[in-house]
Amino acid sequence: MGMAVLLSEKTNTVQRLHVALELSAATWRVALSNGNGVRQVQVKAGDLKELASHVEKAKRRFGLPSEAETLSCYEAGRDGFWLHRWLESVGILNVVVEPASILVDRRARRAKTDRLDVEALLRMLIRFAGGERDVWRPVRVPSVEDEDTRRQSRERERLKDEEVQHRNRIRGLLVLHGIKLPIGRKFRKALEQVRLWDGGALPAGILSEILRELDRLDFLQAQLKQLGEEHRMRVMAAKKQPTPKAHVAKIDRLMELRGVGIVSATVLVNEMFGWRTFRNRRQVGSYAGLTGTPYDSGGTEHEQGISKAGNPRVRTTMTELAWGWLQWQSSSKLSKDFHAYAGNGSAKTKKRFRKVGIVALARKLLIALWHYVEHGILPEGAMRRA
């Protein structure tokens, strides 16, 4: 049961202690209030015993009984959700707030300190407890197991980014001497035969640097390969169980479709389908940040593009999956609609229409995959693997 549901069952006359936390690496700024007075204290980061002591002292200071309801909040960030789980375990109702949803003064220069920030957070918590649900957007907190399941796909994402950085670095070092050489299996051998414009060999210093970059690139690629094999073995072992876990069954179901591989299926399930529930297609598109952002004010009306306010991993995966869908599911209705939209006009117009159309295809495909995973509805015209 969520915090909002619990609060909706109570009246505003109930005595509560409100606790807002501004977290940092060294100290936590804590603001406490019963709705009238306000008290601020500082706590050493991670000192749960001291935090619990200040909560009890605040109850006595404000004349609240020890069993009085306590509500707390903090912004989502580097500390993750462990603090939320501890607060819930000691009977404190907590909400993790999406930082981007908090309203701030739009002046170019405004006073910003931890003291002011935690006071603003406390005021919004009191309003939220009083029934104003739109003061911010709470973050959906996953279970420990669901959170841990996401680590593998996120680690792969970081390794892929590092791989691109090393490749670009090697290319940049070669371009310094006017050399363009594809980075492939025979790159080391080809590097030995490279000659400069005057027929000379690469300088020893830059050659050594390129080889060290190449060693790091090889190490990253080996880790990526190992990570992929471990993931495949884990999924295959889970499928052989008498009752596979729900997220494994959903990965398997997505992979039944042509054009959806184990990497894309894993990202979609671990980040979205495996632990979140959606009521309608708008929520599905919004979670991925693929919904439109209209601007309609006075006489000005135009579309600002997609919001990009959702999960960037799901959005990136769906864009890649949409391009693959055009190839592997060319007979599906989604692919035909895309070609009908982007296939007319000049070459310049087609290029723009394809860029706009692929985003629309990604959103429609995500909704279609949601229907397929949750309700078993096959996307129109799509084919399963043989």
Closest CA to 128 of 282, 24, 38, 10: 10
Q: What is the 3-state secondary structure (H, E, C) of 34-47?
A: CCCCEEEEEEECCC
Tens-place pLDDT, residues 264-290: 999 999 999 988 889 999 999 999 998
* Cα–Cα distance, 94 to 86 (Å, whole number): 10
Residue from 226, 217, 162 nearest 185 by CA: 217
* Residue indicated by tokens 């995973």: 373
* DSSP helix/strand/coil, 343: coil
Residue 5: per-residue pLDDT: 46
- Average pLDDT of the segment spanning 317-325: 94
- Range 120-133 average pLDDT: 92
Per-residue pLDDT at 292:
79
| Mean pLDDT confidence for 68-97 | 95
What is the model's pLDDT at position 11?
A: 45
Predicted confidence band of residue 310 (pLDDT cuts 50, 70, 90): confident
129-151 core/surface letters (b: 16 or more CB in 10 A; e: else): beeeeebbebbebbeeeeeebbe
Q: Where are the domains of the chain?
A: 3-141, 146-240, 251-375
Model confidence at 348: pLDDT above 70: no
pLDDT confidence of residue 2: 55
Residue 304: predicted pLDDT: 79
Task: Reduce the secondary structure of 143-176 to three states and give it as a string.
Answer: CHHHHHHCHHHHHHHHHHHHHHHHHHHHHHHHHC
**Does position 13 have pLDDT exceeding 70, yes or no?**
no
Instruction: Output the pLDDT for position 8.
Output: 47
Structure tokens at 244: 């596979």
Question: Is pLDDT of 238 > 90?
Answer: no
CA–CA distances in Å: residue 9 to residues 2, 88, 130, 164: 11, 18, 11, 52
Q: Quick check: helix, strand or coil at residue 310?
A: coil
User: What are the tens digits of pLDDT across the range 337-346?
Assistant: 998 888 765 6
pLDDT of residue 163: 95
Average pLDDT, the chain: 88
Share of the chain above pLDDT 90, in %: 60
Q: Which DSSP string do the residues of 98-149 spell out, in sequence order?
A: PGGGS-----SS----HHHHHHHHHHHHHHHHTT-TTSS-BPPPPPHHHHHH
Q: What is the pTM of this model?
A: 0.82
Task: Kindly report, residue by residue over 136-184, the tens digit of the pLDDT.
Answer: 999 999 999 889 888 888 999 999 999 999 999 999 999 999 999 999 8
In the predicted structure, residue 22 carries a pLDDT above the cut 70: yes
User: Quick one: which of 73, 202, 87, 44 has its CA closest to 138?
Assistant: 73
| Residue-wise pLDDT tens digits, 195-218 | 998 888 889 999 999 999 999 999
Compute the distance between CA of residue 82 and CA of residue 375 in angstroms, rounded to an integer: 33
* pLDDT score for 3: 58
Continuous segment of H or E residues that includes residue 255: none
Name the 3-class secondary structure at 68.
coil
Q: Is the pLDDT of residue 124 over 50?
A: yes
DSSP state of 253: H
The pLDDT of residue 320: 94
pLDDT at 240 over 80: no
CB 217, CB 170: distance < 8 Å: yes
Q: Per mean pLDDT, which range of 191-195, 215-219, 362-366 is the poorest?
A: 191-195
Reported in sequence order, the residue ranges of the chain that DSSP labels E, i.e. its strands, are: 16-22, 27-33, 38-44, 69-75, 93-97, 292-297, 300-306
Q: Which CATH number fits domain 3-141: 1.10.287, 3.30.420, 3.40.50, 3.90.1070?
A: 3.30.420
- The predicted-structure confidence for 89-106, as pLDDT tens digits, reads as follows 999 999 999 998 888 777
Q: Which of 253, 278, 276, 283 is nearest to 266 (CA)?
A: 253
| Res 111: pLDDT | 81
Q: What is the pLDDT of residue 158?
A: 94
Confidence of residue 347 (pLDDT cuts 50, 70, 90): low
